[in-house]
Every structure is written in C-alpha cells, then in structure tokens.
Amino acid sequence: MSCGRIAAGMRMVEVRLLGPVEVQTDGEVLDVGASRPARLLLALLVADRRRLDLDRLVERCWDDDERPDDPTPAVRTTVRRLRRALGDDAVITRTGGYELDPAALDVDVDRFDELIAAGRAASDPVAAVTSFRRALDLWRGRPFGELGDLDWLTPERIRLEEAHLLALEGWHDAHLRNGTATEIIPSLESATAEHPMRERFHRQLMQALYLADRQADSLRAFQDYRSAMAEAGLEPGPETVVLEQRIVERDPSLMVATQGRPLRGYRIIERLGEGAFSIVYRGTQPSVDRDVAIKQIRAELANRPDFIRRFEAEAHMVAHLEHPFVVPLYDYWREPGSAYLVMRLLSGGSLESSLLDGRWDVERTARMVDKVGSALAAAHRSGVVHRDVKPANILLDDQGNSFLTDFGIALTESELMEPEAALSAGSPAYASPEQLRREPVGPSADVHGLAIAVYEALTGRLPFPDEPNQAALLRRQLHDPIPSVRSSRTDVPVAVDDVLQRATAKVEADRFQTVEEFVAAFEAALGAAPAPAPGLGSATVVPTQERNPYKGLRTFDEADAGDFAGRERLVDQLLAGLATNRFLAVVGPSGSGKSSA
C-alpha cells in the first residue's frame, strides 16, 4: 500500500486500517457506507496503485452468492458512494476498471511500515524507541476489523500482525540497549502472557528483569517458561538456555556498552544482533577503510572446547568455501576469554527483513534461488551441509544480490553420520523432517530449507502460519504437504508448485537429491533462467573439477608457489634482510599478502 497526503480544499482524508476500517477528515469520521464501499476501498488499496478491472472488483466486493447479474451499474454505484466519502478525485476511472490516486489518501499502514523501518535502521537507541513507539501507537487492533478474514486480505492481515509483534520486540530491544529496562517490564509480562510460544518475548523479559537488578525474578521467568514448554512436550531454544546461564553467572557483558570500542585493528560501531552462541556487531577496519561484520563468541563459551571447536570449524569451512555468493571471511582469531570472526558487511539486510516490506516478485525470487543455490552447491561439493538455510541466513547487498551466511551448525561429510550430528535441528520452521527427528542429514535437507525460503519469499508467509503452538506446527511439518503457492499467487506457474512440493517431500528419498537439480527444475518451471541482478550477473551452477588457486585464509605452502606472480622484488628484499638479520617479521593487515610472500 502506498498513498500520500493531499489537502482537498481544507480536507485531509485519512484511512485507518490497523483496526476496524475507518476514514476520517479533519478528525471527523466519515461514513463510507456499508461493507461494500469499504471492501472496494480495501481492494483498491491492496492493489497498490494498479488498476483493478471490473471482474476483479466484483470478485472482491461481492460474495459468490450475491454477485449481481449485471455488475457494471452495481460497481459504478459503489464507486459513487466511495467518492462521496473520499472526494471525487480519489477514485480514478481507467479503461476497464478503477484505481486510487496515490496522492489522495493518508493511510496508517504506510506510516506504520515506514516507522518500523526507521526503528530498525536507527543506531541510536533513543531514536529507535521513538520510532517503534510511534508505530505501535497506530495499532488499534486486528487489521481490517471484521473484513480481515476475506481470502484476498488474509495474507496482508497476517503480514501486519507479524510486523506488529516485530515492532514490539524492536521497541523492547531499543529500551534494553538504552538502559531503560524497567520501563518495559509491564509490557513484556503482558506480551509473554498473550504470546506464550513467542520465545523472544521471554528472553527480553529475562534480560529486562536482570538489568533491573532482579536476578531471582529473571531466573524464575525462565523456569516458568521451561515448565510451560515441557507441558507441550518441548524445550526452550538454545539462545534462551544460554541467556539463563549468562544470568546465573552474572555475565558482565550483559551490562557493558560496546559502542566505539577498539578491537585488534578493528573498531566496534554498533550491535546488529545475536544468536545462541554469538553476538554480531557492525565495525570498521581503519587500516583499509572498510566496514565489516564482527561475530564474537559469547564470553561464557569462549573457553569451552566444544564451542571453540565449532567456532574454528566454521572459520575453516567458510575459508575453504571460496564462492561469490558465500559471505566471505576476512579474519578470525582467539584470545583469552573471547574469539572472533570478521566477515563482509552487507548493507541490504536479509531476506527475512526484506519480507517485512512485502513478498518478492517471481523474477527477484528466481535470482535469489540462482545465487544461493550455487553457493549451496559449492558447499555440498566440498562435503559441507549447511543445515540452517532460512531467510535470516540469506543476506542481501544494495544491488539485490543474495548471499549465504552462518555456517555455525554446518557439518562436514565426515561428521554427517556421527551420533552427535543430529543434535541440532536448525531452525524448526525450515528444518526437514529428518532434522526434526534428529536423524542423519544430507544435501537434500538444505534443498528443503531453501524451498521453504522460496515459498516464504513468494507468498510472504510460512507454509503453516496459523498453528496455535509449536507442537501443532511440528506435526504439520512432519506429515502435511505445504499449501499451494498459487492459493495466494496466481501469477506463479503451476509447475512451480510441483517443484516446491517435491523439494519439501516428507520422505527424504522423494526429494531432489542435489541443489543443482532443484535449481534447474525451478528455473524450468518458470520457463527461463532468471535475469541477472546488477553487479555480479548470473550464478547458475556449472560443476567443475578445475582447481581454484585462491586460498583465502588457508595456509600457503611450497606447492602453491606457482600460483603467484610479481613477487620477485619483494622476495629478494626479504632474502636480503635475512642475510644480515637472524629474525625478520612481516607485519600487515589481514589480506595484505603476508602469507603468499
């Protein structure tokens, strides 16, 4: 939805959709008539400045059993009634249909989306608090009121309801960053009661209570949540368990601000997010003047051998996976009490955050499948299964290219059959049935995760968004096929449904066994390969046995000497130095070429 403001004479027309449908001018509520003019208004708004033809208007304004025999005069009568409320210029007649003047209305949904985006982008927690609060103040209840159950409105209603919860979580996070945790404790207590299965609310409540010097209450909140989960046959997620341990140990990093802190040749600018085992910051590398993402393993885990083993394994995995659409690793190191990965910072957010602004078109989705598919294929050829392919782990640059990240729970081929290989199921909403059953997994598990991400990109929602609890959701994921994409996207070819059904088959043997097969089938279902996005072009996977000479962060040895040229002068200088000195140190930033010299 995208409309602006206009003063029609002295009138300002406002449309309020975040609750029962309401139209106001200068504070006075206008009568848009019975439900049919309101349905016409919603149909034109959801069309987002596109013309709606007569057949589509009749379909959306009348139920099947009450459609008029002659729709033309009935639609004209409804348009006249809507114009009386909005102004004659608000509804424009086009050949064969109607559309809204994009500058004729002020729609609360547009301001809601803009304020949430501003809150997410704000590095200043005070600004974030303000933006999220203004967005939340626009919320009056269930979007579209009693009309929200209309089939064609349901996807937008679900998107807005999820955006509202994310805005509430963002508002809580901004207060936590701002040191004003006590102000949000009542809100968090209400949120955890109203949404008992939404785990992030419980973590925020635990942290707020701890920051308010109420450690015992914080730990009690965890115990209450764990008991509620146990009644449903579930357990708290790893992030919540780790937070409880940090609170027990009074982890000082829960209280310490990090903004602007120098760090071994880098400078931390702001905190971007956190996972079960690490915190991610935006930083800079002053020596080469570039922005980076810095991933820090949590302090309480930094000296535990099992976590350090996984941390170093991720570093080595990414360093070996030299691929244009795997987020590259610049540096990594360990030190007493901590460990770090430094990676490329991508400015376009993630697929997950992008979908808050609406579902993707088919062409954009096809480009994402092309690029992420090629990255996964490269990982699989190297014997690595990602196991956590989801929109949050698909990052975007400012040119629309998609990149795969977060190999934190990936497994190499040699680990896949080990008993402990099944201990992490990845993110349950995207995990394959064999992951949910804690069985050994292979590349087809990543095919499943990518297919669910494709479904969400095309529809704007997960396949099973309305289940009342996680236990019900897991039952459907284990046994029910995903719904048809075409139930909400008639512009998607029928063949795409067939491809996604096979890619998410409950029996592993019935799925595409390689990501190359899935990508090829998806592109064939669309009828053509995707047009390349600006900058990096197409990434369609072409298996190759050619040796890649690029070493990244891997160790160089004598056998690699033939891969380098133009270093003779530097090597002569180093040898001359060694001729007169017993010790010679080569110092420089990561990536400057020390190892290859």
The 3-class secondary structure across 351-414, one letter per residue, is: HHHHHHHCCCCHHHHHHHHHHHHHHHHHHHHCCEECCCCCHHHEEECCCCCEEECCCCCCEECC
Helix (H, G, I), strand (E, B) or coil at 543: coil
Amino acid at 247: I
Half-sphere exposure of 84 (CA within 13 A, CB side): 11
Q: Among candidates 134, 131, 133, which has minimal Cα distance to 123?
A: 131
CA distances from 197 to 155, 160, 466, 475 (A): 21, 19, 13, 16
Question: What end-to-end distance do the CA atoms of the chain give, in Å?
Answer: 57
Torsion of CA 538, 432, 348, 332, to 10 degrees: -100
Helix (H, G, I), strand (E, B) or coil at 437: coil
Which one-letter DSSP state was computed for residue 265? Answer: T
Q: Among candidates 544, 540, 543, 542, which has minimal Cα distance to 370?
A: 540
Q: Among candidates 303, 301, 325, 201, which has minimal Cα distance to 246?
A: 301
Amino acid at 214: R
From the list 113, 388, 397, 446, the catalytic residue is 388
Q: Among candidates 326, 314, 265, which has minimal Cα distance to 590?
A: 265
Please, what is the Cα angle at 419 between 417 and 422, to 5 degrees? Answer: 85
Residue-by-residue DSSP string for 106-151: EEHHHHHHHHHHHHHH-SSHHHHHHHHHHHHHT--SSTTGGGGGST
How many whole angstroms separate alpha carbon 271 and alpha carbon 280?
6
- Establish whether 572 is a catalytic residue: no
How many whole angstroms separate alpha carbon 163 and alpha carbon 297?
29
3-state helix, strand, coil in the chain (%, to 5): 50, 15, 40
Q: Are strands 106-107 and 11-16 parallel, antiparallel or unpaired?
A: parallel
Instruction: Tell me which H or E stretch contains 55.
Output: helix 54-61
Q: Among candidates 382, 255, 277, which has minimal Cα distance to 323?
A: 382
Please, what is the Cα angle at 12 between 10 and 18, to 5 degrees? Answer: 165
Residues forming the active site: 388
